[in-house]
Amino acid sequence: MTPLLSTPAAGRCLRTIGTLLHNQQSALMPQLWTASRALSTGTGQDQYDVVVVGGGMVGAALACALGSSPMTSALRVAVVDGQAIDPAAPLPDASEAPEIRVSAVTPSSVNLFRDVGAWSTVQSARNAPFDTMQVWDSAGQGFVRYSAHDVDASVLGHVVENRVLLAALHRRLSESENTHLVCPAKVDSITWPESEVSESDADVRRESNGQAEASGQGAGASVHLSTGKTLGARLVVGADGGRSRVRSLAGLRTVGWQYGQRGLVATVVTDREHSTAWQRFLPTGPLALLPMGGHYSNIVWSTTESHARALESMPHSDFAAAVNRALSEEHAPQPPSSVSSFLPALPFLGGSSAGGFQPPPRVVEAVGRRASFPLSLVHSGKYVQPRLALIGDAAHSVHPLAGQGVNLGFGDAQALAAVIAKGVSTGRDIGELGLLEEYEAERRAANLGMMAALDGLQRLFHAQSAPVALARNLGLDLVQWLTPVKKRIMSYAMGMEPVR
Ligand SMILES: Cc1cc2nc3c(=O)[nH]c(=O)nc-3n(C[C@H](O)[C@H](O)[C@H](O)COP(=O)(O)OP(=O)(O)OC[C@H]3O[C@@H](n4cnc5c(N)ncnc54)[C@H](O)[C@@H]3O)c2cc1C
């Protein structure tokens, strides 16, 4: 690259030619757009169009989506992670007990994996489809059984070890010509372009000058790594988890609260194979038993901090007994279920193809390690700034009671990839605030809807007073037998229907 071509004038000239050509031949656009952007900042091995900080499930999904779309596959993408990533590592051996960190991925997330060519790898490893979900309350007899048949689907989702999801995505990443893994390397600091640091400052400047300024077409951001390297980026994506360093370096504030609970995860062996996601709401929090294939199941038990610590350290046999007690014993006086007896008989309600209440399998053994994580709700006040977008837990962390956390993140990755593709196809700057705000508007609405639903459920089931417990059980009964309502809830939880 010659110094002449790296001048702003040359960059503008190339962009103009690109825009003209786009009108005639949009198929040429991705390559041309990349060339004009690279020339305007100066090329070199450390210049990227997109730097994704965090190669976890959500960051890796975004990079795969960019690498597999014809519109964005020519973009130079760096994925930076503090931990070493080996895309050539063998898949976990399915004959061994599953790892304790698993995700229940929705059909919508499965579609993303299919689109980026990563689902076949997941299918070649252990994954447990589930076709039924049963939710019930320890303080009453109300329950809901959801069946995939109710929504004309064969499965409600798949339970997959996080390490399998990651391995599938990292394999696809390594196959993308323009995607580079930069790891292990932590982000130490980020320099944002001076003129684009604060959009509100820019608004004030525009107003005080009494004239419109062109929106930022300045230099990109510079991402400084712990290794001493610096990466130039048109767009920095913070996919670095709930304690996002990128979010704090951008000065973005969060709102949220701690639930005063920990989520304990464990692997257990049950007395029979099953394909149901079981969840019982206890006075201390929900306990989920998720199928993991064969006789293995995964436990996600949200409970008080002291109880979680005790569960974490008790012997395997005591833990198995504690799970069985929690899934079967009565934990409060059982109010009579006033409606469940006659609701099934009302033909206009539609009934349920999942049938009546089923007892869950019994745990015969706990295996491997146990761990617990503090549970909180965290929401970033903004997801975007000029040259910055947050996705996944960096933008929002939710209670795991409905297994939605990473699925919301996959939705972010899909939406941001689509907005970047739109920017490329129309010759816009992919770090431009106006473009990124389209991503924010779409995902903020979707995420807020789900966050409100999950937080509401958490509070509803936490309340133990008799009137609330009675109303709650009545509500569960109604959902169980009101087929249209049930279908809406299922479609929403499966990621197949947006919140309204
Ligand atoms: C007990 C429990 C059970 C759960 N069960 C489910 C479930 O069933 N279904 C579901 O959808 N969700 C579930 N979740 C939520 C889910 O685990 C998270 O939403 C998901 O892991 C978020 O993915 P992420 O890629 O956004 O962030 P992370 O998984 O946290 O990944 C962040 C990545 O960024 C890297 N990183 C961090 N800081 C830096 C830095 N400074 N520089 C470079 N790299 C950095 C990290 O190494 C990591 O690889 C559960 C959560 C808990 C606690």
CA angle 21, 25, 31 (to 5 degrees): 75
Residue-wise pLDDT for 120-166, tens only, equals 999 999 999 999 999 998 877 888 898 999 888 999 999 999 999 99
Task: Out of 64, 81, 169, 451, give the residue to mutate to test ligand 1, the one with the largest number of ligand atoms within 8 Å of its CB.
Answer: 81
**Helix H or strand E segment including 458:** helix 433-462
Chain center to CA of 341: 39
**Helix H or strand E segment including 478:** helix 466-481
Residue-wise pLDDT for 468-500, tens only, equals 777 777 777 767 766 776 777 777 777 776 544
Q: Using 50, 70 and 90 to split pLDDT, how confident is the model at 341?
A: low
Q: Is the CB of 83 under 6 A from ligand 1?
A: yes
Residue 1 has pLDDT above 80, yes or no: no
**Which pLDDT value is given to residue 25?**
37
What tokens does 415 get? Answer: 């939406």
* Residue bearing the CA closest to ligand 1, atom 29: 56
Q: Is the CB of 400 under 6 A from ligand 1?
A: yes
Give residue 142 CA to ligand 1 midpoint distance, Å.
Answer: 33
Closest ligand 1 atom to residue 240 Cα is 34
Backbone φ and ψ of 68, nearest 5°: -105, -5
Residue-wise pLDDT for 397-436, tens only, equals 998 887 789 999 999 999 999 999 999 999 999 999 999 9
Query: Is 45-493 a CATH 3.50.50.60 domain?
Result: yes
Crossing angle (nearest 10°) for helices 57-68 and 162-175 = 30
Q: Using 50, 70 and 90 to split pLDDT, how confident is the model at 42?
A: very low
The proportion of the chain whose per-residue pLDDT surpasses 70, expressed as a percent, equals 79
DSSP, res 55: -
Distances (CA, A) of 318 to 20, 312, 315, 324, 364: 71, 11, 5, 10, 11
Closest ligand 1 atom to residue 225 Cα is 42
**Which pLDDT value is given to residue 218?**
52
Residues whose CB falls within 8 Å of the CB of residue 280, separated by 6 or more in sequence, listed in order: 135, 136, 137, 138, 286, 287, 326, 327, 360
| The residue type at 79 | V
Q: Is the CB of 300 under 6 A from ligand 1?
A: yes
**Which pLDDT value is given to residue 60?**
98
Burial of 321 (0-12, 13-18, 19+ CB in 10 A): middle
Give residue 303 CA to ligand 1 midpoint distance, Å.
Answer: 20
* Residue bearing the CA closest to ligand 1, atom 12: 405
What tokens does 259 get? Answer: 């639930």
**Which pLDDT value is given to residue 213?**
33
Q: Is the CB of 392 under 6 A from ligand 1?
A: yes
Residue-wise pLDDT for 247-298, tens only, equals 999 999 999 989 899 999 999 999 999 999 999 999 899 999 999 999 999 9
